[in-house]
Every structure is written in C-alpha cells, then in structure tokens.
Amino acid sequence: MDVRLLLENTLPGLGYELVDFELTPGGGFRVFIDKPGGITVEDCVSTSNHLTRLFMVENIDYDRLEVSSPGLDRPLKKEADYVRFQGSLAKVRTRLPVEQQKRFMGRIAGIQDSVLQLQLEDGRIVAIPLSNIDKARLEPEF
C-alpha cells in the first residue's frame, strides 16, 4: 500500500492537510500536517493515535511514527501552497539556474500556468517553473 496516498485520503477527513511525508532511517514515518489556524500538540497526538490504528488495520509495518506541524518555515510543495501563501516571503532553490542563479528569496507574487512569479528585494519579478523548483520554504517574518 502507498502510505502517501493513504495519508492524502485520510487526513482531510480528520480536518488536516498533508504538508509533507518522509521516510526516516530505520523504517519510520515523519508526517507533517497543517490546518487553518495552525497545529496544536493535541492535533499531533490525536492524528498519531488515528494513524497508528489505521496502519495496524492496513497492515503497514513501521518502527516509529512522528506527527508534527510544518513549522514557521513551512515547505511549499504543491501549486496550491503558492496560491495560499501569495504575498509571503519565501526561499526558493532551483534545479537548474534561472537568470544565472539557483537560490532566490522574495515575495510570492502569484502562479501562472505552473510558473511561480517571485518578486525579489530589488522589485524584479523572476518566473520559475514549478517543475524546476528543487526546494521552497516560507521565510518567517517577525
């Protein structure tokens, strides 16, 4: 059974969004969840308990399960993330250079045809195809 697919189908019914899923060394799972208003410790505990029972029923073998919030520097994985966090500051690393560089920091100006529009500090807008993004995270602002 595909654990990511199982999580994507289960978590929305519990009121959570699957932000990320990782396999950990030693055969464990790390699950990052979110919901409007943020995640509490109680959310992590109840989700962990639910997933423990679900994995038992689905006969999914694992050594350790970690459920956590994505944190203030939340990863941006899906096109919907960029839409949701439009106007937020983000760090983006590309697979291939765009305008002779691979690392960018700027405000998410929008998404058009699966291309991120990122406004840099100097006001320029850089167009980065989502398929070229290696890693993107929100940059916390205080």
| Blockwise average pLDDT, block size 10, the chain, 142 residues | 91 96 91 94 97 95 94 94 96 96 97 96 96 97 90
Q: How far apart are CA 88 and CA 84, in angstroms?
A: 9
**Residue 142 CB contacts under 8 Å (≥ 6 apart), including other chains:** none
* Interatomic CA distance for residues 27 and 82, integer angstroms: 31
CATH, domain 3-68, list 3.40.50, 2.40.390, 3.30.70, 3.30.300: 3.30.300
pLDDT attached to residue 1? 66
Architecture field, domain 79-138? Roll (2.30)
- CATH 3.30.300-classified regions of the chain: 3-68
Distance CA 106, CA 108 (A): 7
Residue 27 has a pLDDT of 87
| HSE-CB of 16 using CA atoms within 13 angstroms | 28
What residue spans in the chain does CATH classification 2.30.30.100 cover? 79-138
Residue 26: predicted pLDDT: 86
Q: Encoding tokens for residue 51?
A: 């997933």
Angle (CA) 82-84-88 rounded to 5° is 70
Cβ–Cβ under 8 Å, residues 99 and 83: no
